[in-house]
Amino acid sequence: SQTIHQWPATLVQPVGSPLSLECTVEGTSNPNLYWYRQAAGRGLQLLFYSVGIGQISSEVPQNLSASRPQDRQFILSSKKLLLSDSGFYLCAFGEWGSYNEQFFGPGTRLTVL
Amino acid sequence: AQKITQTQPGMFVQEKEAVTLDCTYDTSDPSYGLFWYKQPSSGEMIFLIYQGSYDQQNATEGRYSLNFQKARKSANLVISASQLGDSAMYFCAMRGNAGGTSYGKLTFGQGTILTVHP
């Protein structure tokens, strides 16, 4: 069966520090991968998506970047965090060629102080 | 551009009763999909149900059903026989034309907090 992992679960970082959030998927090949951010009490906003290794598309201009070094690994990064980067970050995947399901990881709660 | 509107910030329901959570959408894509997710206080997003724009019948999954009215552009979630464990935030979302450049990207509404009373 397919599973998706994210870590860390919680992170508190000072402004100006770097960030690396990791997401891995098991049980499927060549998945579509997505990073979403959720502000407190709000809906999710798509940040990045990837349809293959090394293929990254950004949805909104921001202080963050994403990379996909392996088929089932998706990384969200920042060189210098801003206060506005605080939020709940969720990784999701969909099976290649199927757009009728999208499954989410447990999320990372990031607080920038 | 796609837009999802959930007009109910909060809803209350008595245990064992049915409840309808509203969702309206706007898109110019000829083909699209509609999703409902449940987010408990733990934060995880749990996939509940999916409806394709060309599906002839309304989707059902156990106690969840999607009341899809294409002409009205609405995709309401109906939860039958509510349980205390149904208390959570519920999100409606949509994806655009899979054959185009949407690649399954989801646009979410603002959510509805459902509280089930015993």
User: Using H for helix, E for strand and C for coil, what is the string for A53-96?
Assistant: CCEEEECCCCCCEEEEEECCEEEEEECCCCHHHCEEEEEEEECC
Q: Is the pLDDT of residue A34 over 60?
A: yes
Q: Is the pLDDT of residue A98 over 80?
A: no
Choose among A59, A54, A46, A64: nearest CA to A102.
Answer: A46
Nearest by CB to residue B104, choosing from A45, A90, A94, is A94
pLDDT at B62: 97
B:56-85 residues touching chain A, CB 8 A cutoff = none
Beta bridge partners of A70: A73
DSSP 8-state symbol, B57: S
Cβ distance A100 to B52 less than 8 Å, yes or no, reads: yes
B50 CB neighbours in chain A (<8 A) are 100-101
Q: Is the pLDDT of residue B98 over 70?
A: no
Average pLDDT for residues A77-99, to the nearest whole number?
92
The lowest-confidence range among A90-99, B3-12, B104-113 is A90-99
| Cα distance between residue A44 and residue B99, in whole Å | 23
The count of other CB atoms within 10 Å of the CB of residue B96 is: 23
Average pLDDT for residues B73-78, to the nearest whole number?
98
The lowest-confidence range among A57-71, A99-113, B42-56, B97-111 is B97-111
Which pLDDT band, with edges at 50, 70 and 90, does A96 fall under? confident
Average pLDDT for residues B22-44, to the nearest whole number?
94
Q: Is the pLDDT of residue B11 over 90?
A: yes
Choose among B4, B35, B6, B9: nearest CA to B115.
Answer: B9
Question: What residue of A is the nearest CA neighbor of B109?
Answer: A43
Q: Is the pLDDT of residue A14 over 60?
A: yes
- The residue ranking higher by pLDDT, A92 or B98, is A92
Average pLDDT for residues B50-68, to the nearest whole number?
95
Confirm if B106 and B93 have CB atoms less than 8 A apart: yes
Distance (Å) of CA A33 to CA A1, A69, A102, B100, B105? 17, 12, 9, 17, 10
Average pLDDT for residues B18-42, to the nearest whole number?
95
Average pLDDT for residues B85-101, to the nearest whole number?
86
Q: Is the pLDDT of residue B8 over 90?
A: yes
B9 CB neighbours in chain A (<8 A) are none
Amino acid letter at B81?
A
Cβ distance A49 to B105 less than 8 Å, yes or no, reads: yes
Nearest by CB to residue A32, choosing from B93, B103, B110, is B103
Return mean pLDDT, chain B: 93
Average pLDDT for residues B47-60, to the nearest whole number?
94
Cβ distance A90 to B107 less than 8 Å, yes or no, reads: no
